Amino acid sequence: MSILVNKDTKVIVQGFTGGEGTFHAEQCMDYGTKIVGGVTPGKGGQTHLGQPVFNTVKEAVAATGATVSMVFVPPAFVADAVMEAAAAGIELAVIITEGAPVRDMQAAKACAVKNGMMTIGPNCPGIITADECKIGILPGMIFKKGRVGLISKSGTLTYEGANQVVKEGYGISTAVGIGGDPIIGLSYKQLLQMFQDDADTEAIVMIGEIGGDLEIQAATYIKENITKPVVAFIAGQSAPAGKRMGHAGAIISGSAGTAKEKMDALSAVGVEVVVSPAEIGKAVKKVLS
């Protein structure tokens, strides 16, 4: 078990033949991900990385039975690509693209929800189930198999957190980078529940940051629904208000969205909150021993 993806998951790549799509699709295949084809409009009928290329997602799904799409389409066209995946019956779209307009993602997400398609991202490193399936740009070798689930808005903090968990002698079941944009797909709440239900996950690490209130919503959710131990770190305790800290969504608006309010909310519901990402590994060890 694990969550969302495993060794049997059939994946197509939207933006398959582009530079990024090609490089990362190849890396994913090397990791063991079952990439069964890709979509590049106008290049249907070709073969790329040994797999068929289709003009539309609908054709790709019909021919391959893929249920997941990894999206590497440029920002101006990414909403269109996500809606196409939703209309074609894809179950999960993992959107790696950075710099998608917020208005576009608002529409794309509403369309995905209406069609019953889950999304991860945009502007995220993707998802990995250790030793089985990697979808995105995560460096696979860090994620040794184990029983800790990880959810993070930040790419490099995902790697940092996973690395520490492994160094403490534990491992990762599934790690999900949910992205740092103002509007994202799957968030802490849904993923926490999936890890709660996953027999192979014993503890959960959640890494958040300033801006928005998803971490506060997560705290409320944890109180009522999550019994597995949770370790949390919120980046940006030392960030100034009103400044966008790299990620489009990482901004303290007025007095809302600070690291402190999120840390307090999580602490209050029994989450092991650390003040530095350097403490994540030790905290996991603490909650598991």
Partner 1 sequence: MNIHEYQAKQVFAKYGVPTPRGIIANTPDQAVANAGELGGNIWVVKAQIHAGGRGLGGGVKLAKSKDEVRELATEILGMTLVTHQTGPEGKLVQKVYIEEGADIKDELYLSVVLDRALEMPIIMASTEGGMDIETVAEETPEKIIKIAIDPAFGFQGFHGRELVFGLGITDKAEQKKMIQFASKLYTLYMENDAEMIEINPLVKTGSGDFIALDGKMAFDDSALGRHPEIEDMRDISEEDPDEREASQYGLSYIALDGEIGCMVNGAGLAMGTMDTINYMGGTPANFLDVGGSANAETVAKGFEIILKNPNVKAIFVNIFGGIVRCDRIANGIIEATKITDVHVPVIVRLDGTNAPEAAEILGNANIANLIVATDLGDGAAKAVAAAKGEK
Nearer to partner 1, 10 or 223 (CB): 223
CB of 93 to partner 1, least distance (A): 16
CB 85 within 8 A of CB 93: yes
Q: Mind giving me the DSSP string for 21-42?
A: HHHHHHHHHHHT-EEEEEE-TT
d(CA 235, CA 217): 17
Nearer to partner 1, 61 or 231 (CB): 231
Nearer to partner 1, 66 or 127 (CB): 127
How crowded is residue 190: how many other Cβ atoms within 10 Å of its Cβ? 18
d(CA 179, CA 70): 14
Q: CA angle 283-214-99, nearest 5°?
A: 105
Nearer to partner 1, 40 or 158 (CB): 158
Instruction: Please list the residues that pair with 150 across neighbouring strands.
Output: 175, 205
Annotated catalytic, 24?
no
Roughly what angle, to the nearest 10 degrees, separates helices 78-87 and 57-64? 40
CB of 116 to partner 1, least distance (A): 17
CB of 115 to partner 1, least distance (A): 13
Nearer to partner 1, 63 or 275 (CB): 275
Residues that bind partner 1 (CB under 8 A): 27, 75-76, 99-104, 106-107, 109-110, 125, 137-139, 141-142, 152-157, 159-160, 163, 180, 182-183, 207, 209-213, 217, 233, 235-240, 242-243, 245-250, 254-255, 259, 275-279
CB of 21 to partner 1, least distance (A): 14
Q: Looking at 34, 48, 247, 262, which residue is catalytic?
A: 247
SS3 101: coil
d(CA 253, CA 212): 8
Element (DSSP H or E) covering residue 172:
strand 172-177
Instruction: Show which residues are catalytic.
Output: 247
